[in-house]
Amino acid sequence: MEQLDPPDPLLWDERRLWFERRQAAASAEGAGRLSEQATALVIDLQACFCAGAWAAVVLLAATVVDTQVEVSKQRRAAPAEELRWLRALRNRLVHEDRSNPVLTIEAQWTERKAWERSAKRAVDLVFAVVYSRSREERGTGRDG
């Protein structure tokens, strides 16, 4: 099963470079008050992303976002509809609807591309929140 074997090293590097480019772009203007735990979880997030563990990426991303929002008090660090999307998907993964599960074994085979798109969207949301700075921080040039 492809999902249980390590990805080809070239695919791993392709994913790693995508992740690192997104992070570099988001962090270009610095960061506000960072959560130590959220920042540490980004390391696991990257490992899951590179491995192609898409549902795990979504779950970790939601955790990072919630942790960082709590520490920074930046309730508007990302568009509300994006935060609602991520939390709803996380909740559907954590609280299974047995009559209509959001992830199935079959989906692990047939919906990989859709899950990858969701994982990328979640990663972008993580970086938007982690590297968000308040108006006051942007005005003073603080990097947090």
Q: What is the pLDDT of residue 29?
A: 81
Winning range, highest mean pLDDT, from 5-9, 26-30, 86-90: 86-90
Q: What is the pLDDT of residue 2?
A: 58
Q: What is the mean pLDDT of the chain?
A: 87
Is pLDDT at 60 greater than 80 in this prediction? yes
Q: What is the pLDDT of residue 135?
A: 41
Q: What is the pLDDT of residue 86?
A: 97
Of 105, 114, 118, 21, nearest in space to 62 by CA? 118
* 33: confidence class by pLDDT, cuts 50, 70, 90: confident
Q: What is the DSSP string of 70-127?
A: HHH--TTSS-HHHHHHHHHHHHHHHS--TTS-SS-HHHHHH-HHHHHHHHHHHHHHHH
